[in-house]
Amino acid sequence: MDVETRTEGEVLIGRYVLEQPLGSGGAGVVWRADDRLLQRPVAVKLLHPELAHDPATAARFRSEASSAAKLTHPNAVMVYDIGRDGARDFLVMELVDGPALSELIAAGPLTADATAYLGVAIASALGLAHRRGMLHRDVKPANVLLDAEGVPKVADFGIARALGEAAARLTAPGSVMGTARYLAPEQLLDGPLDGRVDVYALGLVLHEALTGRAPWGSGTALEIASRRLSGDLRPPSAVRSDIPPGLDAVIQRATRLEADERYADGAAMAAALDPLVGAAGRHELTRRLRDLSGLPARATPARADTASRRAVAGVSGRAAPPQPRSPQAAPPPALVRPQASQTRPPQAAPPVVPTSTSPQPVRASPAVRASRPARGGKRAAEGRARRGADPRPRPRRGRRRMRRLLVISLLVAGMAVAGAQLDLPTVTDLGETIRDTDVGDLMDAVRDGVSGRLGG
């Protein structure tokens, strides 16, 4: 059975089930298939009968496919496997469930942002291949696939070199196959090749994406070759006036007739395109993909609504805007907490209840306490004066705790000096008394006791 007569449901090497043909090109037919072993969808490229029956071409195909399988890049179609089923060679690749760039361009020219985004992605994948000594040799819109998220992926690395002149024999005399439209001048002249041939082809692809026209026009292979070898390509701005000057200059340099005047490799071209990428580039591609497939645009909530929801949920650092409430939803007045600006009424200190016969601290009279300077020293008094007569209450728990410990220490020391009995119940009762007594009163009592002791 020939390669061209494959049918749905056929199984290659007992593993890959052919499900649906996706397209045909100069190398072969691409099928959507199912990988039984790993249980995942894949793309299988079956060589044309003329190529599959040529031993030299089949050997080069397997060699180049093996090299391409070692290339891992987010913008390059991954090669999973190569195989031979009887007399049929095939290539198993990552399935990109989306159209080719050629279909997108056929629907209309792309914006400058989308074109720059495409250029950076494709050039970076080519740059990785160039660093590893690989050339694509067949960069064209049909070999750039787009997934559902608008991510471009370059396909068929090394296939052009593997097929060589065998694929050209499939083209009718006097016509130009898709690949020939994007060949660099040195490829037409059989000169030495390096990464600049892929740079030239990518420049033509970006030119076509912006203008919507095939590079060098239409005609026979001889006519297109003569135009290409006669001079440089007209810049995109000659066809479309809204092209940014930076993007126009990059494409002009990439499509120079002389290879020495182009970017050295894909990485250099990606670096030149990267500053030109706008924020809307990828979004423009996804929108065009939805328009091409007829799918409705995804509903995107407004940014203000999202921020408001996050603020209400406590995620945002900003306070949520006030929301109107119905009278029934208002809390009862008894449950409403006072605002931060309101101060609580002062509470009287609990009375001191003697719990034992141990000496109790003596409270100073209000007149004595009023005659003494405010606690805290001169700096504290100046701070209170700057803040005003109604200072904002501040937590002083740590300071009160330290004062209580100081009072306990002083009382114990004073009792020891006075010859009082210091057993465990006495110390325990003293601690409970101090805990329930105002700190200021305790300090006054200690101060009065020490003064009296020294005076006696």
Q: Please write the tens of the pLDDT for every residue from 426-447.
A: 656 666 666 555 556 656 665 6
More confident residue, 46 or 380: 46
Rounded mean pLDDT of 12-36?
A: 90
The CA distances from residue 357 to 45, 193, 426, 448, 450, in Å, are: 103, 108, 9, 20, 20
- pLDDT class of 316 with cuts at 50, 70, 90: very low
- 129 pLDDT more than 50: yes
pTM of the model: 0.61
35 sits in which H/E element: strand 28-35
Residue pair 117/282 in contact by the 8 Å Cβ criterion: yes
Query: Strand 40-47 relative to strand 28-35: parallel, antiparallel, unpaired?
Result: antiparallel
In a 10 Å sphere around its CB, with 0-12 CB exposed, 13-18 middle and 19+ buried, how is residue 5 labelled? Answer: exposed
- 423 pLDDT more than 80: no
Q: What pLDDT is attached to residue 321? A: 40
**Percent with pLDDT over 90 in the chain:** 33
Q: What pLDDT is attached to residue 24? A: 82
The token pair at 71 is 């290339």
* β-bridge partners, 112: none
Residue pair 313/146 in contact by the 8 Å Cβ criterion: no
Residues with a known catalytic role: 138
Mean pLDDT score of the chain: 74
Tell me the per-residue pLDDT of 229-266, one tens digit each, with 9 for 90 and over. 877 888 999 999 999 999 999 999 999 999 999 999 99
Rounded mean pLDDT of 29-40?
A: 94
* β-bridge partners, 47: 28
Q: What pLDDT is attached to residue 103? A: 93
- pLDDT class of 325 with cuts at 50, 70, 90: very low
Residue pair 199/263 in contact by the 8 Å Cβ criterion: yes
Domains recognised in the chain with CATH numbers = 3-93 (3.30.200.20), 101-167+177-293 (1.10.510.10), 357-369+398-456 (no CATH)
Q: How far apart are CA 381 and CA 387, in angstroms?
A: 10
In 3D, which of 198, 216, 40, 37 has the Cα closest to residue 127? 198
- 332 pLDDT more than 80: no
Strand 79-85: give its sheet, edge to edge.
11-12, 16-24, 28-35, 40-47, 88-93, 79-85
Q: How far apart are CA 200 and CA 210, in angstroms?
A: 16
